[in-house]
Amino acid sequence: MISFSGFNAVILDMDGLILDTEQSYFYAWQQAAQSLGYGLSHEFCESLSGLPFSILEQRLIQLFGEKFPLKEFYSLSSGAWRSEVNQNGIAVKRGAYELLATFKEKSIPYCLATNSPEQNARECLQYAGIEGYFELMVCRDHVHRPKPAADIFLQAAQVLCQPIESCFVVEDSLTGLLAAKNANAFSVLVPSTQVDEQMRQLAGLICNDLLELSLLLVE
Residue 17 and residue 30 in one domain = no
Give the SS3 label for residue 136.
coil
pLDDT in tens, 154-193: 999 999 999 999 999 999 999 999 999 999 999 999 998 8
pLDDT the model gives residue 1: 52
Residue 67 and residue 169 in one domain = no
Residue 136 and residue 47 in one domain = no
- Report the CATH number at residue 173: 3.40.50.1000
Indicate the residue among 88, 105, 123 that finishes a domain: 88
Indicate the residue among 88, 109, 126 that finishes a domain: 88
Residue 153 and residue 68 in one domain = no
Residue 55 and residue 98 in one domain = no
Residue 38 and residue 144 in one domain = no
State the total domains in the chain: 2
pLDDT the model gives residue 102: 96
Residue 82 and residue 45 in one domain = yes
pLDDT the model gives residue 47: 86
Each residue's pLDDT, cut to its tens digit, for the chain (219 residues) gives 567 888 999 999 999 999 998 888 899 999 999 999 999 998 999 888 777 777 888 999 999 999 999 999 999 999 999 999 999 999 999 999 999 999 999 999 999 999 999 999 999 999 999 999 999 999 999 999 999 999 999 999 999 999 999 999 999 999 999 999 999 999 999 998 889 999 999 999 999 999 999 999 987
pLDDT the model gives residue 124: 94
- Distance (Å, rounded) from C-alpha 127 to C-alpha 120? 11
Would residue 2 count as lying in a domain? no
Residue 78 and residue 122 in one domain = no
Contact 191, 199 (CB under 8 A): yes
The parent domain of residue 63 ranges over 22-88
Residue 38 and residue 75 in one domain = yes
- Report the CATH number at residue 82: 1.10.150
Contact 214, 110 (CB under 8 A): no
DSSP letter assigned to residue 16: T
In order of 31, 39, 40, 53, 166, the CA distances from 63 in angstroms are: 17, 10, 9, 16, 41
Residue 36 and residue 140 in one domain = no
pLDDT the model gives residue 54: 79
Residue 50 and residue 108 in one domain = no
Indicate the residue among 37, 55, 88 that finishes a domain: 88
pLDDT in tens, 130-152: 999 999 999 999 999 999 999 99
